Structure 1
Amino acid sequence: MVWEGIIEFCTVANLHSFTKAASYLDSSVAQVSRRVATLEKGLGVKLFNRTTRHVSLTEAGQLYYAQCKPALEALQNAELNVTEKQRVPTGLIKMTAPVAFGEAFIAPLINRFVKQYQGVQVECRFTNDTVDIIEQGLDLAVRIGRLEDSSLVAKKLSTRQLYVCASKAYLAKHPAPATPQQLSEHNCLVGSQAHWRFSQNGTRTNVRVSGSIKYNSGNALHDAALAGIGLVQLPGFYVRNDLACGRLLEVLSAFREERETVWALFPSNRHMAPKVRLLVNYLAEHLEDDE
C-alpha cells in the first residue's frame, strides 16, 4: 500500500498550490513535488493537472482525495487523542486578531492563558487586514462577521452587536432618522466601510453613508461621536458605557442588524496542535458576548 506523499497530496489538493502547501508543511516546493510524484508513480495515475499558474485535481485525483481526506483526518485525530492526554502544551502559537477588539478582549485572555500554561508562547499580530494565515505561517486567526468561503475551519467564539448612536448635542440640532434611508440627511462618521448594515423586514440591508470625517479607527470614531460631530455605527464594546449613562443615544434601534459572530479560524488540512486547540477552547469559554 502506498503511504508516502499522502499528506503532501492532501495539502496541495486543499490549498490548490504546491507553494502554499510547502509553506504550510514547513517544507520546500521541490520536496512536496517529489513526494507527490512518488505517490503518483506508486498509484500509476496522474493526480494533478499542473500549469505555471494553476493546480487542479484530475478525475482520478478527485476520487483519491475524497477517500484519503477522511481517512487521514481519522488517523490524525487518533494520534491527537492519544498524545494530547500525555502532553503538557508547549511551544509558540502564531495568530492574528482585529486591532481594537483584539486589544480589548483577546489580549487579556491571552495573558491569562500564558500565565496558566507557562510552556506556551503566543505571538499575536493585531491588524484589521484579512491575513492569509497559511501563507503567513499562522496557526490561528480571530475574525468578526460574515466569512468568505475558504479552506479554513471556523469555530464560534462569541457574538457582538452594532449600534447607531450620537450625542445629545448632535441630536438636539438634527432630528433622529426614522429609517436607515434618512441617514443621507445626516453627517455620518465613516469607518473603513462606506456603508452601514441594518436589518429591514428580516432582510440584511447595506446603506451607503457619508460625512465630514472618515477614520479607520473605532476609537477615533467614538471620540468624534462624543464630540457631537455626527452619527456613528460601532460595536457595543465602544459605546455601551456611553449608552448606559446617556452620553450617547441610540437611534434606529428597530433596524439593528443581527448580532455578528466572532470566529476562530484555523487550517483544515491537518489536525490542530494541542496547544492551539487549548487556546481556541479557552477563548470560546471565556470570551463573553459583547452587548
Structure 2
Amino acid sequence: MRIDDLKLFTTVVQLGSFTAAANAMDLPRANVSRRIGELEKSLNAQLFFRTTRKLRLSQHGEAYYKEVLTVLEAYQKANDTLLKLDDRPVGKVKLGLLPESDEAIQHILYQFQDMYPEIDLDIRSTNSCYTDMYEQGLDLAIHAGKLHDSSFVARHIAQLGRMLLASPSYIEQYGMPSTLAELATHQCICYRWPDGTLEDNWDLIDEEVKVKSRLASNNIGFIRRAMLDGRGIGILPPLLALSSMESGALVRVLPQYQSRADDVWLLYPDRHGISRATRLLIDLLLQELPKKL
C-alpha cells in the first residue's frame, strides 16, 4: 500500500468517479480503476459500490475515508516539518489562469521557480475555476468577478476596471461611437458568466448601458480574439488587452468611460493539507500580483 494510492482513493471519493479522478491526476482511467482494485484487495474490503451510473462508498469505504484523511494530513505535516528543517521546498503546484492573463503573471511564475528550483509548476488555462479546480486537480486558481461558490477559500488580490475596446478595422467599417446611447446600434461582444448570466448590461461608472449582443461567449479568450478580428466592441480589463493596445490592434472606445471595478481573487479548495509549495506560491502571488494589476 502506497501513500499515492491513498491520495488517489480520496480523490475518487471527492470527485465521485474514476474518470474525474483520472482527469484531475493526469492518469489513464484504467490505471485508476486498477489501483483502487488493488487497494481493496490489499485491505480485503470493498470500498465502493459500482454501478453503470454511479459510484458510492460502501460502509467500509466511508469509515476508511475518514481515517485516511487524518493519515494524509499527518503525512503532509511530517513532510513539511522535514522540508522546513532542510529549508528546501519541493513538490508540484497546479495553477489555473484566466485565458490570455499569462502576460502579466508569467514573470512572477519565473521568479517563483528561480526562488524554489525544486518546485514544479503546471499551468492550466481555465474558463471556470469552480469546475476545473476539481476536474483538472488544480491547487489554486485566479478568478475575476463574482464569487459563486463558498466552499473555496478566496483571497482578495485587487480590483480591476474594464474599458471599451474595438479593432481599427471595426471602427473603419462601423464608425466610432461618440455617446453611450450609440452603443445600442453597434455590434457588441458579451461575456457569459459561469452561472449563465449574459453580461449585456455594461455597468460603467455613474452610468449603465444596455447593449445588443450579436456574439457571446463564456471564454474571454474567444471574446478578445473576436474583437481583434473586427467582430464588434467588447469590454476588457487592461490585464487582457495590454499588448493589443500597445500594438494598436485594439483601440479605446469612449475612453472617458470605464466599468466599475471587478474583484480579482486567488481561490483554492477549503481543505486541510495544502502543501508547503502551494502556500509559498500563494504568498508570492498575493505579494506581487497587486503590483501588476
Fold shared by both chains (TM-score > 0.5): yes
Q: In the alignment, what sits opposite 1:279?
A: 281
Indicate the residue corresponding to 1:119 in structure 2. 118
Matches within 5 A, 1:71-90: 71-72=70-71, 74-87=73-86, 88-90=88-90
- Give the whole-Å Cα distance in 2 for the aligned partners of 1:249 and 1:240: 17
Q: Does the 8 A contact of 1:5 with 1:39 survive in 2?
A: no
| Preserved contact between residue 236 and residue 290 of structure 1 (Cα < 8 Å) | no
Find 2:254's aligned residue among 249, 256, 260: 249
Q: The residue matched to 1:165 in structure 2 has which SS?
A: strand
Instruction: Return closer, same or farther for 1:22/1:221 CA change in 2, 3 Å cut-off.
Output: closer
Quote the offset at 1:278 in angstroms.
Answer: 1.8
**Contact in 2 for aligned 1:5/1:38 (Cα 8 Å):** no
**Equivalent of 2:39, from 13, 17, 35?**
35
1:237 aligns with 239
SS in 1 for 2:121: strand
SS at match of 1:99: coil
**Aligned counterpart, 1:188:** 188
Residue aligning to 1:263? 266
Matched, 1:106 2:105: yes
Report SS of the residue matched to 1:272: coil
Q: 2:187 is paired with a residue of what secondary structure?
A: coil
Q: 1:71 Cα deviation (Å)?
A: 2.8
CA shift at 1:234, angstroms?
A: 0.8
Change (3 A) 1:80 1:197: farther
Contact 2:48 2:57 in 1 (8 A): yes
Question: Partners in 2 of 1:190 and 1:4 — Cα distance?
Answer: 43
**Partner-residue secondary structure (3-state), 1:277:** helix
Work out the CA distance in 2 between the residues paired with 1:247 and 1:207: 17
CA contact (8 A) 1:155 1:265 kept: yes
Contact 1:191 1:215 in 2 (8 A): no
Distance 1:176 1:198 in 2: 14
Q: Deviations over 1:4-27 (max 9, x none)?
A: 986554332212123444663966
Q: Structure 1 residues 31-40 or 134-143, which shifts more?
A: 134-143
Whole-angstrom distance in 2 between the partners of 1:111 and 1:239: 21
Structure 2 unaligned residues grouped into runs of 5+: 246-250
Once residues 57 and 137 of structure 1 are traced to their aligned partners in structure 2, the CA distance between those partners, rounded to angstroms, is 21
| SS of equivalent to 1:249 | coil
Instruction: Name the counterpart of 1:177.
Output: 180
1:221 is aligned to 227
Check 1:166–1:121 CA distance in 2 against 1; reply closer, same or farther (3 A cut): closer
* Structure 1 segment 99-178 matched on structure 2, within 5 A: 99-102=99-102, 104-126=103-125, 128=127, 132=132, 140-146=140-146, 153-156=152-155, 158-165=157-164, 174-177=177-180
Task: Report SS of the residue matched to 1:122.
Answer: strand
Partner of 1:13: 13
Q: Tell me the equivalent position of 2:248.
A: none
Q: TM-score scaled to structure 1, two decimals?
A: 0.63
Question: CA deviation digits over 1:104-128, x for unaligned, max 9?
Answer: 2210101111222233343434565
Overall identity of the aligned pairs, in %: 23
CA distance in 1: counterparts of 2:163 and 2:89, whole angstroms: 43
* Pairs aligned (count): 262
Cα distance in 2 between the residues matched to 1:257 and 1:59: 51
Q: Where do 5+ consecutive residues of structure 1 fail to align?
A: none
Note the aligned Cα RMSD (angstroms). 4.9
CA distance in 2, matches of 1:22, 1:173: 50
- Structure 1 CA distance, aligned partners of 2:221 and 2:279? 35
Report if the CA contact (8 A) 2:189-2:214 is conserved.
Answer: yes
Name the amino acid aligned to 2:57: L
Query: 214, 235, 249: which one pairs with 1:210?
Result: 214
Q: 1:12 to 1:221 in 2, by over 3 A?
A: same
1:48 aligns with 2:48: yes
